[in-house]
Structure 1
Amino acid sequence: MAVLSVPVLAHHGRGATYDMKKRVTLEGTVSKVEWRNPHVIIYMDVKDADGKVVTWGFENSGVSTLAQEGYNRNTLKVGQDITAIVNPAANGAPTAIVVKIVLADGKEIMSRDNGQNPAN
């Protein structure tokens, strides 16, 4: 009997992790930005309905993709107020994937909105 081992490359499916049919708008303050691959992660403090601060983590594109679009590790700063439009975690956890970020002046950045994502 011979056993053959072959390396497998895989990438997680966003549809299994995030509810791609649901869109949520969150307002809050950037608390941390992890500028790294495979995905840049933006953390934002958001007040819930009871006024309790909940830290959300938002998955974004990788460093090279964002850099090609003109963004860098200084695009978002800790303490900056932003609005995040996201597809939330399918399991209800405070994690999501970015659809777009809206700055305080109304400028939209880091948009992944292709018009196929329904607004809720």
Structure 2
Amino acid sequence: MTILSLRLRAAAALVLAAAAAPALAHHSFAMFDQKQSFTVNAVITQFQWANPHCWVEADVPGGKGAHKSFPHLSLEMNGLSGLRSGGWNAKTLKPGDKVVIEYHPMRDGTAAGQLVSVKLADGRQLKAQ
């Protein structure tokens, strides 16, 4: 093998390893019970506009409507590109916003889930998947 051939093989290996890293870091959505969904009135406490997934933190006054009485929910969303095409941006949700949230609960019963949609105070409904 020539030095050029070795360098090309090494470069190809590096490119393949770099391309595979995001796939390895990505997780399954099996932890969410997608056969169930719940709708709650909530107040946004934090909106994290980030890759690989955006997150919503929300207080649920009285836990009404939830499958359990959770005072707070942590909800995972899709990534930025999918949300942008659905009308989302970094300022869509702000702390203090009163919204109606639909989500798939966690299979293990913890106070978290996968956000399905948000109904904003102005009546717009945005899908989160």
- Return the TM-score normalized by structure 1: 0.76
Identity across the alignment (%)? 27
| Structure 2, unpaired ranges of 5+ | 1-15
Q: Which residue of 2 aligns with 1:41?
A: 55
Structure 2 distance, partners of 1:96, 1:57, is 7
| Structure 1, unpaired ranges of 5+ | 1-5, 113-120
Q: Which structure: greater strand fraction?
A: 1
1:51-62 alignment to 2 at 5 Å? 54-62=71-79
Q: Which residue of 2 aligns with 1:115?
A: none
Q: Does the residue aligned with 1:64 lie in a helix, a strand or coil? A: helix
Q: Which structure: greater helix fraction?
A: 2
Looking at both structures, which has the greater relative contact order when contacts are Cα pairs under 8 Å and sequence separation is at least 6? 1
Pair member with larger Rg: 2
Deviation of residue 28 (structure 1)? 1.1
Q: Taking structure 1 as reference, are residues 26 and 49 closer, same or farther at Cα in structure 2, changes over 3 Å only? A: closer
Deviation of residue 53 (structure 1)? 7.1
Over aligned residues, Cα RMSD in angstroms? 2.3
Q: Could you give the per-residue CA deviations for residues 60-117 of structure 1, whole angstroms, max 9, x where no partner exists?
A: 11112212333211011110000110001111111110111111233211243xxxxx
Count residues in correspondence. 105
Structure 1 distance, partners of 2:63, 2:46, is 22
